[in-house]
Structure 1
């Protein structure tokens, strides 16, 4: 079989190239769906843990986070001791998820993790550890960072579509914090001047790379805290619906590949000689003659059938 495959390798090249190209074409859509599905599962798991939490533990976690913000202003000289204290806050499920963010205008719903390590930013949104925890309150400024333009996940790819007046919400525990965009800026990666705390405001800034695909600067979308809009205070997460248009290609590709492979095999000379002619060889080995049905034989059979039908007694 291996020798036959080597001999007919060229036959497989074009179908294989086609299937690989098709796979590359649908990969971004399917990968984004897959990431969204896992995000939904993570958010639902987070919500279930929160709903099972007793009131005493709930208040303790929330108050600890608020106290952390009071004692830790924005500090760009984060030490290992600071990091250990930070990682202990809002990490009641020991999975690094502190909540999730929703941006209705661009259809984003993503979990928020501690820190901005690359492993986190490949699939989720990271909280800039030197900034305020996302639990609201005057004199706080939370900064959330997300990648843009990844082929495997949408994340903050459409963040540039936000305009002043648009809203986004952050969900932590059973609390919902709604922010209205009031400032959009493009700055150098090292420019941190706009990420300061205003004692009279509750702020949150969303950060991503720009321009798209070049990533030489940073897009900063800042929002100030407002009252929750009707319907935005719910912590129930919606499951991601499976879109057939995303799933179908990944079912069709292996089926098409197997179909092409089957056709190539049964039409090959090797198959014809070994399998299709096996019946003829069987008869020859046993001295049997193969029946030959010619055109006249077919015609005779048809005439006999017609004659039989004509002579058949009919019901009256």
Structure 2
């Protein structure tokens, strides 16, 4: 009789627990499916970002490999946030160590890079968390554009000023890479990074000189 009582109790518990177990299993499956969807979305977003960065870097590389004579002969642009060729710079960039101060235009185009630095709009806004890239010709005239970028050293300061903000970065990495090396444009998930891009070597360039700095 006692065994029958225990059996009935266990059966009652099973009847009560079965729906709860089924619901728990359904919740787990739901979470698994949601995780798969989020992972697939993240992979698509990452792939799209890589495509955009690669396309932007390819365009910049072609522009940087063009003759720098136009950049050498063009009149010097104002380093202040004033109109440059009918366009208003989004910022100025200053590297005291090499005595450079340039206007920064939005978009790495042939016109913008004629005698100014250009923010690659495929990357994050200047001053934002992530990796913001600025490209400029390494003009052959000493001191023009990024001509002296190869003289920058680890620890040097780079100041980017917009109309309302002033960002100070410290150089932490200098490298020479292949023109298609898109990894230099990727964020590390925690820092505010500024990446400067120009040609290397100065004459008949085959690679890209990359200077990277973190916001202090």
From the two aligned structures, give the one with the greater helix fraction.
1
Q: Give the equivalent residue in structure 1 for 2:124.
A: 132
1:179 and 2:169 aligned: yes
Query: d(CA) in 1 for partners of 2:115 and 2:211?
Result: 20
CA gap 1:201/1:171 in 2 versus in 1, 3 angstroms: same
**2:78 is matched with which residue?**
39
Unaligned runs of 5+ in 2: 1-69
Instruction: Tell me what 1:104 maps to.
Output: 96
The correspondence for 1:207, drawn from 170, 194, 197, is: 197
Preserved CA contact (<8 Å) 1:209 1:219 = yes
Secondary structure of 1:109's counterpart equals: strand
Specify the SS of the correspondent of 2:111: helix
Residue aligned with 1:148, SS: coil
Structure whose alpha-carbon radius of gyration is higher = 1
Q: How many aligned residue pairs are there?
A: 145
Following superposition, which runs of at least 4 residues in structure 1 exceed 2 angstroms of deviation? Answer: 149-153
**In 1: Cα distance, 2:192 partner to 2:95 partner:** 18
Query: Residue in 2 aligned with 1:122?
Result: 114
Query: Counterpart of 1:185 in 2: which secondary structure?
Result: strand
Contact 1:177 / 1:225 at 8 angstroms: preserved in 2?
yes
3-state SS of paired residue (2:197): strand
Shift of 1:45: 3.2
Q: CA separation in 1, counterparts of 2:186 and 2:81?
A: 33
Q: Normalized per residue, which structure has more strand?
A: 2
Instruction: Give 3-state SS (helix, strand or coil) of 2:93's partner.
Output: strand
Equivalent residue for 1:307?
none
Residues 44 and 207 of structure 1: CA distance in aligned 2, closer, same or farther (over 3 Å): closer
The runs of 5 or more residues in structure 1 that have no matched partner are 1-27, 47-93, 227-316
